[in-house]
Amino acid sequence: MSTIQAPFLAKFLVLSSVIAGAMMLSGCGKKPAETVTLNIGFQKYGLLPIIKAQGSLESALKEQGVTVKWVEFPAGPQLLEGLNVGSVVFGEAGEAPPIFAQAANSNLVYIANQPAAPLAEALIVQKESPIKSIQDLKGKRVVLNKGSNVHYLLLKLLEANKLTLQDIQVVYLPPSDARAAFERGAVDAWVIWDPFFAAAEHQIGARILATGQNLVSNHQFYLAERKFAEQNPEILKTLVNELNTTTQWVSQHQDEAAKLLEKPTGLSFDILKTSISRMGFGVQPISAEVTQEQQYVADAFYQQKLIPNKINIQAAILNQASK
């Protein structure tokens, strides 16, 4: 070994020993813990934007090495499409969107639901309308969002009063267009859900002809991408626990919850407080009863040719999917 190489090699060995020792002492030699990013789809109104505003979920998941990314969607169908293509792995929607998603071979699974909220959707008329009963709707124009929760409500209302869709003139419009048609008198009645329902009551004095009471359940569902759900049971457990804790807080602090939703929704405190009061409070795993109720909705949509094929809701329940 030359006189030039020897001092260089000695210095290199000393430096390597120092670096190795420092790594052992600091833990830098260990493989860094993998961080999971949880992409959650949410809408402007509901329980998830309240959780987002409070920041409680981030704290609850931090110990599991999970960071949360919130992705906003305009409505349930778009949210579930995002779930299907992988832009989110968890989100919330009403009864109808998951049925359409499953009929299109989506990879979603049902995780949990809020209790029934039948008062949070209704068939309404203008305050001066001569229509006093469901029977009075014969030949009248009724507007609703096609294939939505209230589509099922309308079917049940007509059935309970021995009427069918053929007895009325059905107009299909999304909520904003339906509100405009309703206000200018282009339609005679509107079947709608909260918070649009509460807004029509407060802003234009709409009168309730019938709610979903004793006719429909109107559940809110929490859904996940199938593979994520099967591989991350602890994350989902934390999510459901946080959802349940938050909904219990909302039930006892409705004024504060309404204030948290004022900015994202652009709605007034009074409208939001009315809407929140009609929520179902508590989040629970999907029961056999809720599964059957959702199956009734799916079967009704199939009979009305709103979905192309008959589906089995149980096949999309997490416990069933993970067996």
100 and 249 share a domain?
Answer: yes
Residue 312 lies in a domain: yes
Mapping DSSP onto H, E and C, the string for 182-242 reads: HHCCCCCEEEEECCHHHHHHHHHCCEEEEECCCCCCCCCEEEEEHHHHHHCHHHHHHHHHH
Q: Are residues 122 and 96 in the same domain?
A: no
The pLDDT score that the predictor gives to residue 188 is: 98
Express each pLDDT in 284-310 by its tens digit. Answer: 999 999 999 999 999 999 999 999 999
Query: Does residue 14 have a pLDDT over 60?
Result: no
Give the structural domain span for 147: 118-211
125 in the same domain as 101:
no
- For 156-195, the pLDDT digits (tens) are 999 999 999 999 999 999 999 999 999 999 999 999 999 9
Same domain, 147 and 77: no
Query: For residue 305, is it within any domain?
Result: yes
Q: Domain tally for the chain? A: 2
Give dist(CA 205, CA 192) in Å, integer: 14
Q: Is residue 14 part of a domain?
A: no
Residues 49 and 99 in one domain: yes
Same domain, 224 and 316: yes
The answer to whether 83 and 89 have CB atoms below 8 angstroms apart is yes
Across the range 308-322, mean pLDDT stands at: 83
Single out the residue in 211, 226, 261 at which a domain terminates: 211
Residue 161 CB-half CA count within 13 A: 18
Q: Among 211, 231, 253, where does a domain finish?
A: 211
Q: Do 87 and 56 share a domain, yes or no?
A: yes
What Rg do the C-alpha atoms of the chain give, in angstroms?
Answer: 26
192 shares its domain with 141: yes
pLDDT tens digits, 239-254? 999 999 999 999 999 9
Q: How high is the pLDDT of residue 35?
A: 73
Domain assignment present for 31: no
Q: Are 49 and 41 contacting, i.e. CB atoms less than 8 angstroms apart?
A: no
Contact 179, 111 (CB under 8 A): no
Q: Are 111 and 122 found together in one domain?
A: no
**Model pLDDT, residue 49:** 96
- Cα separation, 68 vs 42, in Å, equals 12
Tell me whether residue 315 is in a domain: yes
Any idea how long the chain is?
Answer: 323
Are 122 and 184 in a shared domain?
yes
Q: Give residue 34's pLDDT.
A: 61
Percent of the chain whose pLDDT exceeds 70: 88
Within a domain: 310: yes
Of 185, 211, 237, the residue at which a domain comes to its end is 211
User: Residue 24 domain-assigned?
Assistant: no
Query: 27-83: per-residue pLDDT in tens?
Result: 343 333 467 889 999 999 999 999 999 999 999 999 889 999 999 999 898 999 999
Instruction: Compute CA distances 102 → 83, 95, 106, 222, 286, whole Å.
Output: 12, 12, 5, 14, 16
Determine, yes or no, domain membership for 201: yes
Residue 231, pLDDT above cutoff 90 = yes
Query: How does the average pLDDT of the chain come out, rounded?
Result: 89
Domain CATH code at residue 154: 3.40.190.10
Same domain, yes or no: 315 and 166: no
Q: Are residues 102 and 229 in the same domain?
A: yes
